């Protein structure tokens, strides 16, 4: 993909603006417009005006208060940590957890919590014979923010985690059948996969090679890491 100039780069990123990885980067373009309007003499002068960004770290959590979960509080701690199921928290720049997301790892897309439990159980048993490689699908079955902006931020970090994984090739959700869940995932770049009797599945595309190429070029252009 050829990025010939600033206008072409903006055009490409506008096309991909719903993709999780573009969060924050579009802010850079707003700043770039500011740079253009203020006529800084150099791009270096512009970069000195960048807004300070929070640094996040995705960490596995050994414990949470499940009663805080607004989506599935009925699932106890044992359920969330057995047969390979995991709890991740997003630690912000002051060391506090700003969002939480719970996962099951499966080889198929579940339509119910019961299916998810069975599939993750089977994937865990299969992993014993596959050198610990458990499930190729990361199923996010609950997510909630403890701080403003935490929900979007944890989606971005989880996307990166799955993208870098050696064995995960899909990131899907097992979401409640509510408009709130739908709006959250659609807004954060997911596509509707299917609507079931009591749940709905959304999928975050982790195979957008054209986008990855554009992102690298965008970061080089804006001199950001």
Give the domain ranges of the chain: 6-53+208-222, 57-204
The pLDDT value given to residue 36: 44
Residue 169: strand, helix, or coil = coil
Q: Please report the pLDDT score of residue 178 as a whole number.
A: 96
57-204 adopts what CATH topology?
Aminopeptidase (3.40.630)
Residue 90 to residue 76: CA distance in whole angstroms: 20
Instruction: Determine how many CB atoms are found less than 10 A away from the CB of residue 149.
Output: 14
Of residues 197, 217, 111, 205, the one with CA closest to residue 162: 205
Calpha distance 145→154 (Å, rounded): 9
Q: Which residues pair with 175 in a beta bridge?
A: 200
Contact present, 144 and 70 (Cβ < 8 Å): yes
Contacts of 81 (CB under 8 A, 6+ apart): 62, 87
Beta-strand ranges (E) seen in 37-169 are 57-60, 86-91, 97-106, 137-145
pLDDT value of residue 207: 73
Contact 15, 3 (CB under 8 A): no
Q: Nearest-5° angle of CA 82, CA 103, CA 107?
A: 85
| pLDDT digit string (tens) for the chain, length 225 residues | 444 466 666 666 666 666 665 555 555 555 555 444 444 444 444 444 433 344 889 999 999 999 999 999 999 999 999 998 999 999 998 899 999 999 999 999 999 999 999 999 999 988 776 655 678 999 999 999 999 999 999 999 999 899 888 889 999 999 999 999 999 999 988 999 999 999 999 999 887 554 555 555 666 666 655
């Amino acid at each position: 993909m050829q990025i010939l100039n600033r206008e072409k780069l903006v055009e490409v990123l506008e096309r991909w603006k719903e993709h999780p990885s573009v969060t924050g980067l579009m802010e850079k373009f707003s700043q770039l417009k500011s740079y253009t309007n203020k006529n800084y003499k150099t791009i270096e002068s512009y970069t000195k005006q960048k807004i300070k960004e929070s640094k996040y770290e995705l960490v596995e959590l050994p414990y949470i208060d499940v009663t805080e979960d607004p989506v599935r509080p009925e699932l106890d701690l044992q359920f969330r940590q057995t047969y390979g199921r995991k709890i991740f928290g997003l630690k912000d720049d002051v060391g506090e957890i700003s969002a939480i997301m719970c996962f099951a790892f499966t080889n198929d897309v579940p339509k119910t919590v019961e299916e998810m439990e069975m599939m993750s159980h089977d994937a865990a048993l299969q992993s014993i014979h596959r050198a610990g490689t458990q499930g190729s699908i990361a199923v996010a079955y609950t997510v909630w923010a403890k701080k403003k902006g935490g929900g979007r931020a944890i989606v971005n970090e989880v996307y990166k985690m799955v993208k870098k994984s050696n064995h995960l090739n899909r990131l899907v959700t097992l979401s409640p059948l509510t408009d709130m869940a739908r709006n959250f995932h659609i807004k954060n770049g997911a596509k509707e996969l299917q609507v079931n009797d009591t749940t709905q599945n959304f999928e975050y595309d982790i195979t957008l090679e054209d986008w990855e190429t554009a992102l690298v070029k965008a970061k080089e252009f804006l001199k950001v890491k």
